[in-house]
Amino acid sequence: MRRNPGFRATPSAPARVIQLFKRPLDPKDAIARAHALFGVVEQTLAGAPFLTGAQPTIADVAMCTYTAHAPEGNVSLQDYPLLRAWLARIEALPGFVPMPASRIGLAA
CATH assignment at residue 40 = 1.20.1050.10
19-43 confidence digits (pLDDT tens): 888 888 888 988 999 999 999 999 9
Residue 27 in contact with residue 76, Cβ under 8 Å? no
Residue 53 inside a domain? The answer is yes
Higher per-residue confidence, 102 vs 7: 102
- Mention every residue, 6+ apart, whose C-beta is less than 8 A from residue 40: none
- Check residue 92 and give its pLDDT: 97
pLDDT digits (tens, 9 = 90+) for 41-59: 999 999 999 999 999 999 9
- Residue 50 bridge partners (DSSP): 53
Residue 6 confidence (pLDDT) above 60: no
CA 58-84-75 angle, 5° bins = 95
Q: Which of 4-18, 37-51, 62-76 has the lowest mean pLDDT?
A: 4-18
State the total domains in the chain: 1
- Please indicate, yes or no, if residue 1 is contained in any of the structural domains: no
Per the structure, the complete domain to which residue 86 belongs is given by 8-94
73 part of a folded domain: yes
